[in-house]
Structure 1
Amino acid sequence: MKNKIIAVFAVLVCVAYGGAYAFGIDLGAVVAPHVAGLSALAAFSLVGEVKSVDDVAKLLEKIGDQVKEQGEKALAEAKKSGDMNTETKAKVDELLVKQGELQAQLLEVQQKQARRGGGEDAGGTKSAGQQLIESESLKERLADGWSKSSKVSIGMKAITSQVGSAGQGVVPDRAAGVQMLPQRRMTVRDLLSPGNTSSNLYQYLQETGFTNAAATTGEGIRKPQSDIAFELKNANVVKIPHYIKASTEILSDFPALQSIVDEKLNYGLMLAEEAQLLKGSGVGNNLKGVYTQASDYAAPLVIANATRIDVLRLALLQAELAEYPSTGIVLHPADWTAIELLKDDNGAYIFANPQSLAQPGLWGRPVVTTQAMTFDQFLVGAFRLGAQVFDRQQATITIATENEDDFLTNLVTILAEERLALAVYRPEAFVKGDMTPA
């Protein structure tokens, strides 16, 4: 019988604890010392009175009264015997003190519950105490005198699965840093000869024609005259800028953002630069790109049933006949992939080895792939000898707070810009055309 009494009182403590759980109050530590002082009939009668979380207050008040009654009874018995030892007196005093602590804990629970506006959250989720009170399992155990089972189990699904039921209790596990978007590998600038200029215009003389009249001559005969023609070419220095706005607060609160912005701004310049170096139109404030100035493909030889690979080899020959042997081939990645996947009649790869780590190459020249090149087009040429890029101002980052109304709106303007020029000395050194044979 004693075990049943303790089990029932544990249920009462669980009910009270369920109401206080959300507020972080440990009622179990306060109520535990009073278990031995309750009678079985009182415990069973009190359970029947619990209908809601609000009834917990009344229940705890009755528990407190019983605790006090037990203390007064012990004190009376001690007085009758005429001898109450120190240990008994200390236990009684402790019992009475704990009763006061229980009342204080109850008051704190009531105050916090009042601030929250009831025992349920905004989404209607019931607390553990409410679910236990309304549990059919608990009602059945009480009805049969607690004879079938010594415990009552309730599901906690409403607390653990509903959105927001745990409030801010679950902290997200966030990866460090920022996951950046992929960045294209730049290749065109690496093909060209580098240079620098200190002016806004780079000029150079381009040989446009050479008449070679060298020949053997007899004595007293006038010597032959050869002619060389030059043309003055201008390579304008152009500016490639762009900027981004950012708040001063976010830059202060997230210092790493500054370097991320700088990196992305520089990357944006490189994207625009690669497109200009390769296919700049030369109109207005645009570079005149290498592909724009390259010679059109005209097959030096007629090959029956020419393939895409044949077209590239004939283009290399065309540049070589112009006295500028090509040093590289520029293709779109999809075009190079189509070449790599070519197979013979037996299904074996012709140019590629899936297990090889060799760099892309064709006809002894490196193949450079870039998305700046249009699909189904190619460019071959003597890049180092035929063209040169000149830096007037390398990519720089400037931060200002005086732009527009930045000062008043707590914004900063982060600007990235560069200045450069491109000189194509001999257009005949480059050959462009379509990959698909005519």
Structure 2
Amino acid sequence: MTYHEKHLTRSASALLAAGQHLRRKDASGTDDIFERLSAKFGEHAGEVLRKLTEADEKMAGFAARILDMEQRAARADFYGGSGSGHPETWGEQFTRHTGLKAFSEETTRPGRFRLEVKTTLTNDPASGGSLGAPTRDATAIIPRRRMQVRDLLPVVSVSSNAVEYAAQTNRTNNAAPVAEGALKPESGFAFELRTLPTQVVAHWIPASRQVLEDVPQLRDIIDGELRYGLAYVEEGQLLYGDGSGSNLDGLVPNSTAFAAPFTISNATLIDTVGLAILQNALADFPADGIVMHPSDWMRIRLLKDVDGKYILGDPQAVITPALFGLPVVATQAMAVDKFLVGNFQVAATLYDRWAARVEVSTEHSDFFVRNLVAILAEERIGLAVKQPLALTYGDFGNVA
């Protein structure tokens, strides 16, 4: 039943109800009125219902045509064509254009017909591709080595360009049991005052002021890279600095050569490290750390027993680099096949005059007038190796 049929039915029901109410209230004069109203309503109800039904059908057809037109227009907008489901070629646009028909019917010549054809947008830079904004991901940075040698040493901050410390150079111990009333023996000690200059480690790069302001994250990258460069050189200097010129006097050049306290037949890498630890202990400097190249640590990690089992644990186990309870620092700053065992907390002290810092300035050449800046990173440090016997440096050589 349509909306209008329902409406007429409700109206008829309301009219009958009203007539019945009047009939009950005043039956004397309402019968005739009720009958005439009913007849009149029935005479026109059918005609009204027919016309309303026809109007409903016309509205439904009109709505369907509107929907079809909207869908065609949407397809045409999307494809840039006539709504046929694919983009029109230039030839299709030309032959379907209404202006072509008008031009062909012209009887006078010469004439000219011009058509502006539409092209399909693509990712080509000459089309819509130039409007796209690429996604910017995080910058890929070259791998950085983890620096760990500094962590083995005591670090002291200083406020001068040189450090002085007293070092004992001799001990004469004449202590002995003494009889009552006898002269007691005299012992002696010798010290010397040593002066250690601090050295500067530095480097810099030029950059334009514009790029630093336009790309803020670039400043962070430069800062990190410059600081990493300082730490990289520092680690090499701590181990192998030869003390000449502005070089540090490193741990290895001041260490004691490894000499096995006793011989082990078919000694392994682990045996060799154990003997070096013993050498330190016999020198009264119990070791607190081991430094070696990552390749040598992996050689140790891959050692197996006679049953083919890994000595330091299964491959899937997470093993903290350590031997005989001492931490192993695996760094590429140490030469391959070499090791350094030591009591690092006693052996040497690292002095920080300037902690690593990064500064920017235009005070270089003609940088000010060229809108350039010099970005400088530097640190000022000193290394004093105070106890050479606390450091044992050796060679794995052909040890398995």
TM-score, length-normalised on structure 2? 0.70
Classify the secondary structure of the residue corresponding to 2:304. coil
Aligned to 1:352: 313
User: Is the 1:328–1:382 Cα contact (8 Å) retained in structure 2?
Assistant: yes
Structure 1 match to 2:99: 61
In 1, Cα distance between equivalents of 2:398 and 2:389: 21
Q: Rg bigger for which structure?
A: 2
Partner of 1:296: 257
2:311 equivalent to 1:273:
no
Q: After alignment, is 213-222 or 408-417 more displaced?
A: 213-222
Does the alignment pair 1:179 with 2:179? no
Q: Give the corresponding residue for 2:269.
A: 308
- The CA distance in 1 between the partners of 2:282 and 2:357, in whole Å, is 42
Corresponding residue for residue 429 of structure 1: 390
Structure 2 gaps of 5+ residues are 1-75, 84-88, 108-112
The alignment status of 1:389 with 2:350, answered yes or no, reads yes
Within the candidate set 302, 306, 311, 1:341 is matched to 302
Structure 2 residue 212 is matched with structure 1 residue 251: yes
- Aligned residues with identical type, % of pairs: 41
Aligned to 2:200, which of 239, 243, 247? 239
Q: C-alpha distance in 2, partners of 1:219/1:330?
A: 53
Partner of 2:289: 328
Q: Deviations over 1:333-378 (max 9, x none)?
A: 0000000000122211012332322311111111111111001000
**2:158 aligned residue:** 197
Kindly indicate whether the alpha-carbon contact (under 8 Å) linking 2:122 and 2:128 is maintained by their aligned counterparts in 1: no
Q: 1:352 to 1:283 in 2, by over 3 A?
A: farther
Deviation sequence 1:220-255 (CA, Å, 0-9, x none): 433222222223333220001111111122112211
CA distance in 2, matches of 1:417, 1:374: 26
Q: Who is 2:168 aligned against?
A: 207
Matches within 5 A, 1:394-405: 394-405=355-366
* Equivalence for 1:319: 280
d(CA) in 2 for partners of 1:194, 1:55: 81
Q: Secondary structure at the match of 1:338?
A: helix
Whole-angstrom CA distance in 2 between matches of 1:366 and 1:344: 23
Equivalenced residues, count = 315
Q: Distance in 2 between matches of 1:408 and 1:357?
A: 57
How far apart, in 2, do the equivalents of 1:237 and 1:67 lie? 98
Output the amino acid matched with 2:300: I
Cα distance 1:322–1:209, how it changes in 2: closer, same or farther (>3 A)?
A: farther
Match of 2:45 in 1: none
Deviation at 1:435, TM superposition (A): 1.6
Aligned equivalents of 2:287, 2:93: Cα separation in 1: 93
**TM-score normalised by L of structure 1:** 0.64
2:32 is aligned to none
- Distance in 1, Cα, partners of 2:338 & 2:127: 59
Partner residue of 2:184?
223
CA contact (8 A) 1:332 1:373 kept: yes
1:5-20 to 2 correspondences below 5 Å: none
Residues of 2 paired with 1:58 and 1:335: CA distance? Answer: 79
- Within the candidate set 360, 365, 368, 2:326 is matched to 365
Residue aligning to 1:262: 223
C-alpha distance after superposition, 1:290-345 (max 9, x if no partner)? 12211111111122232222211111111111111000101100000000000122
1:379 matched to which residue of 2?
340
- Equivalent in the alignment of 1:168: 129
What's the C-alpha RMSD, in Å, of the aligned pairs? Answer: 3.4
Aligned to 2:369, the other structure's residue is in SS state helix
- On the 8 A contact 2:122/2:129 being kept in 1, the answer is no
CA drift of 1:384 comes to: 1.2
Give a deviation string over 1:180-238, Cα, whole Å, max 9, x none.
11111110111101111111111212222322111112344332222222233332200
- 3-state SS of 1:354 partner: coil
The change in CA–CA distance for 1:164 and 1:282 in structure 2 (over 3 A counts) is same
**Which residue identity does 1:301 align to in structure 2?**
F
**Matches of 2:224 and 2:259, distance apart in 1:** 42
Amino acid at match of 1:430: L
Query: SS of the residue aligned with 2:270?
Result: helix
Partner of 1:290, secondary structure, is coil
Q: Shift in Å at residue 408 of structure 1?
A: 2.5
Residues 355 and 54 of structure 1: is their aligned pair in 2 closer, same or farther, counting only changes over 3 Å? closer
Look up the match of 1:415: 376
Amino acid at match of 1:63: K
Provide the residue aligned with 1:188 in structure 2.
Answer: 149
What is the CA-CA distance between 1:167 and the residue it aligns to?
Answer: 6.7
The code of the aligned residue for 2:174 comes to A
Change (3 A) 1:353 1:233: farther
Residue aligning to 1:286: 247
- AA in 2 matched with 1:294: S
Per-residue Cα deviation, 1:81-104 (whole angstroms, up to 9, x for no partner): xxxxxxxxxxxxxxxxxxxxxx8x
